[in-house]
Chain A
Amino acid sequence: MSLLDVTNLEVHYGKINALKGVSLHVEEGQLVALIGANGAGKTTLLNTISGVVPGSAGEITFQGEEIFNEHPHLITRMGIAHVPEGRKIFSELSVEENLEIGAFIQRDRERITELIERNYELFPRLAERRRQEGGSLSGGEQQMLAIARGLMSDPKLLLLDEPSLGLAPILVERIFELVTEINKRGVSVLLVEQNANVALQTASHGYVLETGTITLDDDAAVLLTNEEVRKAYLGIA
């Protein structure tokens, strides 16, 4: 039993079959990357795990418990935090208010303060801007805020959807350093990325998703040297 087991997952949008029997595993403490082109179904997979999109068949278990098509708020309570694509931070609220809402499932005031402090230590930029409106942050800072907000629920597993989206290369590097650091502190991560190069360099294990099917499943280092991956996703002939 892994931390997260996805088995033969099928998802349909009307008649369109978005995921065609996907199986994937995340072990405790692992950082797993899921790469693939636009429209391959990467976001759909994350959304189905977190309960936002209903699946049509298959099985998803988290720590041995069935979570397939469970309500999203209950899945969050079980220890999965989803940082959605496009960040979706609360732009009218301050950085600190964003973090407080992130701690919605925490009821202990002291614990919330502790988690906020831990986040400020991890993301000093956010501490500097704690009173600023979320929407006034730069793209990189907004991504940090989205991740920090996800961590406020104190998850065992972090689902990260395209953290590099629309960021300058230097910021992408910084974000991935932080993801590595978060993983080192004991949070397992399932990372979805179009930027295959940086994703596979960060992760220990990788999956390649193509039009709803997992085509490759191997150590990230092995995938980095794989001919097909190099051609299709790394742009190296």
Chain B
Amino acid sequence: MNTLRDLIRSRPIVTAAVVTVFLAALPFLLGNNYYVRVATIVGIYVILVSSLNIIIGFTGMFSLGHAAFYGIGAYTSAMLTTMAGWNFWLALPVAGIVAGIFGTLIGLATLRLRAVFLAFTTLGFGEITRIVILNWRSFTRGPMGIAGVPIPTLFGWTFDRYGYYYLVVVLAALTVGIIYRVYHSRVGRALVAIREDETAARSMGVNVFGYKVLAFTFACVFAGIAGSFFAHFQRFVSADSFANLESFAIITMVALGGTGSIFGPILGALILVILPEVFRFLAQYRGVIYGLVLILVIVLKPGGLAGVKGIFEKPKTPKRRKRR
């Protein structure tokens, strides 16, 4: 694993070229619409998982309601395009912004408090979002959902079938790229300092509350963008797609892949999207599978497959401090 990592690090351009060619050729290698569809879903989860990782892995906060922001993005985009006649390319960023605004509000309300309050609030917010969507019939069409969400088009070209795949690859690559840059910037260092020790981060001159709200908002923007894409890909949105089980699935992917690592969660998304497809006959046990995976990760490998630092790990510091 280390040698592979070194190889990637020493030849970044070659690696990027190989990955690009592979991703471009993938639909033709798969040669089957159903497989390409699964690959597209993986792409959506890569965006969701990478963005949740900003919250859990980089900053050490705990959100149990990431699917709510995903859903807000999906509904924003679906409603703007079907009811107000907007263009997809305009609705996509706006969906991100709307989800980000909700993220900011939740952040401002809870991030001054201890970490558990964010977990409780986001859990509640996830449920509230679902119930509001389900019951506000005049606005969201309630349990009927919104059908006929338009297919994105660009200069007369329609993004159907393989088009969706390429679009999500671009969106996911942009997301991961931006997150990578931020992680290795001054802002990224501030977030890691907060995760490691808030008091110390404060005495380094980090505005802890401000950066927590920023990180949370940033993550919610990407969730909203993933939601927008999902709405236009599925061409139908309903509250069921954004229930708390969905948040739980995203958390499991982050935990399996490895919190705090950039590429680990991508691996987690890949495995946990493909696995239920392979074991189709176990479809009704999806929740059970996620639960089992989460337990196994916590017990066997708390850092995840590629984790830098797991949220489920016990802090190592006290043990080490004794060894003076």
Q: Tell me which residues across on chain A come within 8 A of B15, comparing CB atoms.
A: none
Output the least CB separation between A50 and chain B (Å): 6
A42 within 8 A of B: no
Chain A residues bordering chain B, tally (CB within 8 A)? 34
Q: Tell me which residues across on chain B come within 8 A of A50, comparing CB atoms.
A: 203
A52 and B203: CB pair below 8 A?
yes
Chain A residue with Cβ nearest B202: A72
Q: Can you list, as one digit per residue, whether each of A54-86 has a CB less than 8 Å from chain B (1) or not (0)? A: 000000000000000001110011000111100
Given contacts A90-B197, A104-B190, contact A138 B324 (CB under 8 A): yes
Among A104, A135, A138, A152, max chain B CB count under 10 A is at A104
Output the least CB separation between B259 and chain A (Å): 12
Given contacts A84-B200, A92-B309, contact A100 B189 (CB under 8 A): yes
Chain B residue with Cβ nearest A171: B324
B158 within 8 A of A: no
User: Could you say which of B102-110, B130-138, B204-212 contacts chain A?
Assistant: B204-212
Q: Can you list, as one digit per residue, whether each of A117-144 has a CB less than 8 Å from chain B (1) or not (0)? A: 0000000000000000001101100000
Q: Tell me which residues across on chain A come within 8 A of B201, comparing CB atoms.
A: 101
B320 within 8 A of A: yes
Q: Within the assembled complex, what's the spacing in Å between the Cα atoms of A230 and B309?
A: 49
Q: Within the assembled complex, what's the spacing in Å between the Cα atoms of A50 and B192?
A: 21
Given contacts A107-B186, A139-B324, contact A90 B193 (CB under 8 A): yes
Q: Tell me which residues across on chain B come within 8 A of A102, comparing CB atoms.
A: 204
B193 and A104: CB pair below 8 A?
yes
Q: Within the assembled complex, what's the spacing in Å between the Cα atoms of A228 and B321?
A: 35
Output the least CB separation between B88 and chain A (Å): 38
A104 and B205: CB pair below 8 A?
yes
Output the least CB separation between A86 and chain B (Å): 8
A25 within 8 A of B: no
Q: Tell me which residues across on chain B come within 8 A of A44, comparing CB atoms.
A: none
Q: Tell me which residues across on chain A come within 8 A of B204, comparing CB atoms.
A: 76, 101-102, 104-105, 149, 152-153
Q: Tell me which residues across on chain B come within 8 A of A150, comparing CB atoms.
A: 203
A73 and B197: CB pair below 8 A?
no
Q: Within the assembled complex, what's the spacing in Å between the Cα atoms of A101 and B194?
A: 10
Q: Within the assembled complex, what's the spacing in Å between the Cα atoms of A153 and B201?
A: 12
Among B189, B203, B317, B324, max chain A CB count under 10 A is at B203
Chain A residue with Cβ nearest B211: A73
Among A52, A138, A153, the residue within 8 A (CB) of B205 is A153
Q: Within the assembled complex, what's the spacing in Å between the Cα atoms of A96 and B207?
A: 22
B316 and A92: CB pair below 8 A?
yes
Given contacts A76-B204, A107-B186, A166-B324, contact A91 B317 (CB under 8 A): yes
A89 within 8 A of B: yes
Chain A residue with Cβ nearest B320: A135
Q: Within the assembled complex, what's the spacing in Å between the Cα atoms of A104 and B207?
A: 10
Chain A residue with Cβ nearest B197: A88
Chain A residue with Cβ nearest B189: A101
Given contacts A50-B203, A72-B202, A76-B204, contact A101 B320 (CB under 8 A): no
Q: Within the assembled complex, what's the spacing in Å between the Cα atoms of A81 and B204?
A: 7
Given contacts A71-B207, A102-B204, contact A84 B199 (CB under 8 A): yes
Q: Within the assembled complex, what's the spacing in Å between the Cα atoms of A89 and B320?
A: 12
B189 and A52: CB pair below 8 A?
no
Among B192, B205, B308, B317, max chain A CB count under 10 A is at B205
A77 and B205: CB pair below 8 A?
yes
Q: Tell me which residues across on chain A come within 8 A of B186, comparing CB atoms.
A: 104, 107
B203 and A76: CB pair below 8 A?
yes
Residues of B participating in the A interface, judged by any CB pair closer than 8 Å: 186, 189-190, 192-193, 196-197, 199-208, 308-309, 316-317, 320-321, 324
Task: Supply 12 A–B pairs (Cβ within 8 Å), ascending by A.
Answer: A73-B208, A77-B205, A81-B203, A92-B196, A93-B192, A97-B189, A101-B190, A101-B192, A101-B204, A104-B186, A104-B189, A104-B206
Closest 10 CB pairs of A and B: A76-B205, A139-B324, A105-B205, A90-B196, A88-B200, A82-B203, A72-B202, A73-B207, A104-B204, A101-B193
